[in-house]
Every structure is written in C-alpha cells, then in structure tokens.
C-alpha cells in the first residue's frame, strides 16, 4: 500500500477512535465496566505484534486514539468502575 495513503488512513482511523472514545466516555461512563484505555492498550500491543504492516499501523493508531481519549483514567490508574461526574468536553482529556 502506498505510504501516503497508509499514513492518511492511520491518522483518520486514530481520530475516529478518539471520537468514539470521547463519545463513549459521555454516554457509557456511568457503566460499571473496564475503562476504555485498557482496550486501546490491547489494540496497540496487537498492532505492534501483527505481521502485516498496513494492519499493524492501523491497529496501533486505533488503539492510540482510543487510549488518548481516556488518558486521565490511565494517569490515575482507574481500571474498573464508573467515571466520576465531570463536565464533558469533546477535546478535553479532563
């Protein structure tokens, strides 16, 4: 696959994953479930060990976008449980 196309697809997929994570934080943050930074970390690890380069880059960028969207919970090592009530902003990481 062309290098530039793969780069654009990875940036786009990372942004879509970030947006999905932020929207999931707003509408699913009340659930008693694992925080979604864990899913992003799993996808990044899978992306590193995948053998196909294009799938590797796309999986890693999706995982990275999802991980960054829940960065505050990672920094405070919140693994399970509902989010604490906070003012929701799309671009904010709290």
* DSSP H/E element including 72: helix 71-75
Which residues have a Cβ under 8 Å from the Cβ of 48 and sit 6 or more positions away? Answer: 56, 60
| Residue 90 pLDDT grade (very low, low, confident, very high; cuts 50, 70, 90) | low
pLDDT over threshold 60, residue 52: yes
Token pair, residue 4, equals 């530039």
Rounded distance between C-alpha atoms, residue 7 and residue 38, angstroms: 24
Stronger pLDDT, 41 or 25, i.e. the higher one:
41
If you count DSSP H runs as helices and E runs as strands, how many of each does the chain have, helices first? 4, 0
pTM to 2 decimal places: 0.78
| Residue 92 pLDDT grade (very low, low, confident, very high; cuts 50, 70, 90) | low
Residue-level pLDDT at 89: 67
Q: What is the pLDDT of residues 13-38, one digit of tens each?
A: 989 888 888 888 777 777 777 888 88
């Amino acid at each position: 696959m062309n290098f530039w196309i793969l780069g654009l697809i990875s940036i786009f997929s990372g942004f879509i994953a970030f947006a999905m994570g932020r929207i999931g934080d707003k509408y699913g943050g009340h659930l008693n479930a694992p925080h979604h930074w864990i899913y992003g970390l799993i996808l990044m690890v899978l992306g590193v060990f995948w053998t196909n380069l294009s799938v590797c880059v796309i999986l890693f960028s999706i995982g990275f976008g999802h991980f960054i969207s829940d960065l505050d919970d990672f920094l405070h090592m919140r693994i399970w449980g509902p989010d604490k009530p906070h003012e929701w902003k799309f671009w904010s990481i709290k």
